Amino acid sequence: MQRLDRLANLGMLSAGMAHEIKNGLVAIKTFVDLLLEKNQNAEMGEVVRNELIRIDALATQMMRIAAPQQATHQPVRVHEVLDQALRLLQPLISTKLIALKRNYRADADTVQGDGGQLQQVFMNLLLNAVESMGPNGLLTVTTERGAGDVDPPFLIIQIRDTGMGITPEITERLFEPFFTTKKNGTGLGLAISHRIMTEHRGTIHVESVPGKSSLFSLSLPMRHS
């Protein structure tokens, strides 16, 4: 039973890594295509290099399954990570004629965490939002300080789309590993996102109106000044 459990965990980790590697490769392919069209662009080349570094780190962790490395928590500027994720998805957003609205209302955006892992969460949620919408949709990304007198205060990140929405039956299973409604989906993106948020002492919550919109709300404890 212990061997079977270990094999199951191994399969889960491998599938999760493959999922994230695939996401990184999609972004790299998009920007490489743009580079080929525009000849050379140092700024876009830097984006590709950063994604290659992230993929290399994921592959390294896969090779160390027996002793996976712990996430390195350090000060992370959430607005910068959100902007990086949106930048990677900009070609897809533009192709689908989706309007993007940034509404960064938080007066401070620094949390203690792993920037690469938080980018995985934002990429998963943003990509799902974009894929759920047809042409002329609206993607809104909002940040604000959490209400209430708590210590430390929480940073709230909200990602809202005007897509097809999610039924209550699906919402209940949304964060289960390997559960997916996509034809070629792995069912790991949201499960991995949920795990990362838990490890960052944060939360992830979804509200949806079938046929109209979905809203994913994230909360992360802010770093003390």
pTM score of the predicted model: 0.71
Q: Which two tokens stand for residue 3?
A: 């061997």
Q: What is the pLDDT of residues 44-94, one digit of tens each?
A: 667 777 777 777 666 655 554 434 446 678 999 999 999 999 999 999 999
Low-confidence stretches of the chain (pLDDT beneath 50): 64-69
Rounded distance, CA 147 to CA 145, Å? 6
**Residue 173 dihedral angles phi and psi, to the nearest 5°:** -110, 10
pLDDT value at residue 23: 73
pLDDT value at residue 36: 65
pLDDT value at residue 191: 82
User: Residue 86, SS3?
Assistant: helix
pLDDT value at residue 67: 43
Rounded distance, CA 98 to CA 104, Å? 19
H-state helical runs in 38-75: 42-63
The reply to whether omega before 152 is within 30° of 0 (cis) is yes
**Residue 73 dihedral angles phi and psi, to the nearest 5°:** -90, 130
